[in-house]
Amino acid sequence: MTPAIETRGLVKAFGEHHALDGLDLTVEPGSVFGFLGPNGSGKTTTLRVLLGLARPTAGTAKVLGHDAGHPRIRHVTGYLPDVPGFPAWMTARQVLELYAGVFGLPRDVARRRVGSLLDLAGLADVTSKVGAYSRGMRQRLGIAQALVNAPDVLLLDEPTSALDPLGRRSVLDLVAGLRGRTTVFFSTHILSDAERVCDTVAIVDAGRVVAAGPLDEVREGRTVQRRLLVETDDPARLRAALADEPWVSAVTEGTGPGALEVTTAEPERAALGLPALVARLGLGLTRLEPVEPSLEDVFVGLVGVTR
């Protein structure tokens, strides 16, 4: 099956600086793909190249089998930039009607779709001009306009960054609801958002993919540091004793009374050493379990060490 998005050795240079430095990426059709990376890692540049707004210096970028920038792509993609810009004199309805007209939607289809997208964006009753909108309202209108052509590929650049918790939740629910029908390419640095809706992720740093694959595999396979939750009747004594153990990287307060989180790069050694240490100290052990690694653990492990 043709990948929804595929880049091979993609390079984008601005003078000496390489915003993209050999980016390899494959996004399967129907997936919700999280494109993660710190600020300046090349996420927005990748989107600009895929949309034909910028030309690659080297390498290839394809969307649904077409070279990036091919006119056909514009009919089947939707795009939300990180800061969407609209003519200030228009209302939300006028904006969506304009874009529906640009896509050549039949009048009745356009009317129905604009109405439902305004409902979706929570802007159906807003009659003011876009120029008076808050950033969150613009973002919601931006998401609505990206869906006006019912796209096969939806490219979202930091879609939740300007939203309040409720708006964020509705966007994430919307994205999750598109799974299987539309390929969603979701660029973000909010890792909890990616964990919530993405089935596949790529972590990009300095213009290169440093980890990619199904979310669970990336989380499990790329975790450098593991954490163990240990709960005893005297956490202060245990904490003091842990300071002398060579397999301990860090100790933090856990959630709950008497709980500590022990971070280690040697999980097998820690699994044996922790109960032995608790027994040696004569403490009562009430809980000992691994903490599920988060995407943040992977992210920090892969890109945090260099920053």
Partner 1 sequence: MTGFVALLGHRNREVLATWRVWVLPSVLLLFAATGPPTARYTRELLTWAMGDQASLLQTVDPTYLDSYAQWSKNLTQLVVFVVVIMAAGAINGEVRSGSAVLLLVKPVSRTSFVLAHAVSLFGFVAVATAVGTAVTWVGTWLLFPEAPPGPLIVSTAVWLVLIAVLIAMALLASAAVDAVAGAAGIGIGGFFLLAILGAVPAAAKHSPAGLTGLVGNLSIGEHMAVTWPVVTGAALAVVLLAAAVVVFSRREL
Q: What residues line the site for partner 1 (CB under 8 A)?
A: 48, 51-55, 71, 74-75, 77, 79, 81, 83-87, 89-90, 94, 98-99, 101-104, 142, 145, 149
Which amino acid does the sequence have at 245?
E
The CA distance from 142 to 95, in Å, is 10
- Least distance between partner 1 and beta carbon 146 (Å): 9
248-to-68, 132, 178, 239, 274 alpha-carbon distances in Å: 48, 54, 43, 11, 10
Residue with smaller CB distance to partner 1, 53 or 174: 53
Residue with smaller CB distance to partner 1, 78 or 235: 78
- Least distance between partner 1 and beta carbon 154 (Å): 12
SS3 label, residue 113: helix
CB distance 279 to 183 below 8 Å: no
- Least distance between partner 1 and beta carbon 72 (Å): 9
- How many Cβ atoms from other residues are within 10 Å of residue 257's Cβ? 9
Residue with smaller CB distance to partner 1, 145 or 160: 145
Residue with smaller CB distance to partner 1, 56 or 301: 56
Q: Which two tokens stand for residue 138?
A: 């613009």
**CA 197 to the chain's CA centroid:** 8
The CA distance from 204 to 186, in Å, is 13
Residue with smaller CB distance to partner 1, 184 or 303: 184
- Least distance between partner 1 and beta carbon 300 (Å): 32
SS3 label, residue 95: helix
Residue with smaller CB distance to partner 1, 94 or 225: 94
- Least distance between partner 1 and beta carbon 35 (Å): 17
Residue with smaller CB distance to partner 1, 57 or 294: 57
Contacts of residues 38-41 at CB distance under 8 Å and 24 or more positions apart, as own/partner, are 38/189, 38/205, 38/303, 38/307, 39/189, 41/204, 41/205, 41/206, 41/207, 41/303
- Least distance between partner 1 and beta carbon 235 (Å): 52
Place of tokens 């029908």: 181
The CA distance from 273 to 256, in Å, is 22
- Least distance between partner 1 and beta carbon 69 (Å): 10
